[in-house]
Amino acid sequence: MMDILNAISKISKITNFATTIDYVTMRFIPGVFLACTLLMSYKQYVKNSIVCYTSIPFSGGIGLADYVENSCYLSKRYFNLLSNGTLEPLKHVNVYLWFPIILLLQTATLCLPKIFWIFIGNHTDLSYLLKLCYEITAQNKISKLLDRIRACNYKNFLAGYLLTKLLILIICCSNLLFLYYKIFLKDAYYPITIINRLTLFDTITAPPNSMFQEVVMCKTVVYQLGSINNVVAQCLLTWNPFYKNVFAVITFLLMLSTSLTLIDLLKWFIYYTFKKHVLLQYLQKPMMKNTLMIGYFAGTLSVDLYFLILMISTNVNDVIASEIVKELYLISITLSKSKKQNDDEKDINEIEHYYDI
- The better pLDDT of the pair 104, 323 is held by 104
Residues 6 or more apart whose Cβ sits within 8 Å of residue 97:
44, 49, 73, 74
Q: How confident is the model at residue 357 (pLDDT cuts 50, 70, 90)?
A: very low
pTM, to two decimals: 0.84
- 50-93: pLDDT as tens digits: 999 887 666 555 777 888 889 999 999 999 988 888 899 998 89
- 246-291: pLDDT as tens digits: 999 999 999 999 999 999 999 999 998 888 888 888 776 544 555 6
- 107-122: pLDDT as tens digits: 999 999 999 999 888 8
The whole-number pLDDT of residue 58 equals: 60
What is the mean pLDDT of the segment spanning 321-347? 67
Lowest mean per-residue pLDDT among 13-27, 68-82, 137-151: 137-151
Mean of pLDDT over the chain: 82
